[in-house]
Structure 1
Amino acid sequence: MSATDTVYGMLTALFAGAAVHGLRQGVLSRSPGWRGRVDHLLHTAMALAMAVMPWSWGRALPESPQTVFFAAAALWFPVTATAGRSRTYRPAAVVERLPHAAGMAAMAWMTHSMAGSSHETLADGPPAAHHAAHPGHLAGQPESGEALGAVLALFLLACALWSLTRDLPVLRPARHATADDTGVLAAAGQPYGHFWDGTTALGTALMLLMPH
Structure 2
Amino acid sequence: MIHDLALRWIVTILFVLGAAECLYALAVGNRRPATIISQLLHVAMAAAMAVMAWPWGAALPTVAPMVFFLFATGWFVAVTASPIGAGHRVAGTYHALMMLAMAWMYAVMNGHLLPGQGSSVGSGAPAQVGHSGHAGMTMPGMAMPGMVMPMDDSSGGGYPAYITVLNWVCTVGFALAAGYWLVRYLAMRMDREPDDAGLPLGFLCQSMMAAGMAIMFGVML
TM-score (norm 1): 0.75
Alignment of 1:117-196 (within 5 A): 123-125=126-128, 129=136, 131=138, 134=142, 139-172=157-190, 190-196=199-205
When residues 38 and 173 of structure 1 are mapped into structure 2, their CA distance, relative to the original with a 3 A threshold, is: closer
1:75-126 superposed Cα distances (whole Å, 9 cap, x missing partner): 221221144448xx4xx53322122122212211111111117987x94449
Structure 2 match to 1:179: none
**Residues 3 and 172 (structure 1), Cα distance of their counterparts in 2 relative to 1, 3 Å cut:** same
Q: 1:131 to 1:93 in 2, by over 3 A?
A: same
Q: Which moved more, 1:140-149 or 1:109-118?
A: 109-118
Q: Which runs of 5+ in 1 are unaligned?
A: 176-186
Q: Which residue of 2 aligns with 1:203?
A: 212
The reply to whether residue 93 of structure 1 matches residue 88 of structure 2 is yes
Q: Is the 8 A contact 2:189 2:197 kept in 1?
A: no
Aligned residue in 2 for 1:11: 11
Give, in whole Å, the separation in 2 of the partners of 1:174 and 1:42. 29
Structure 2 stretches lacking a partner, 5+ long: 130-134, 145-155
- Aligned-residue sequence identity (percent) comes to 29
Distance 1:115 1:172, change over 3 A: closer
| TM-align CA RMSD | 3.4
Which has more helix, going by share of residues?
Answer: 1
Aligned-partner Cα distance in 2 for 1:193–1:79:
22
The TM-score with structure 2 as length reference comes to 0.72
Residue 203 of structure 1 deviates from its aligned partner by 0.9
1:158-182 deviation line (CA, Å, top 9, x unaligned): 221111111333455889xxxxxxx
Q: Does structure 1 conserve the Cα–Cα contact (< 8 Å) formed by 2:111 and 2:137?
A: no
Show the counterpart of 2:71: 72
1:80 counterpart letter in structure 2: V
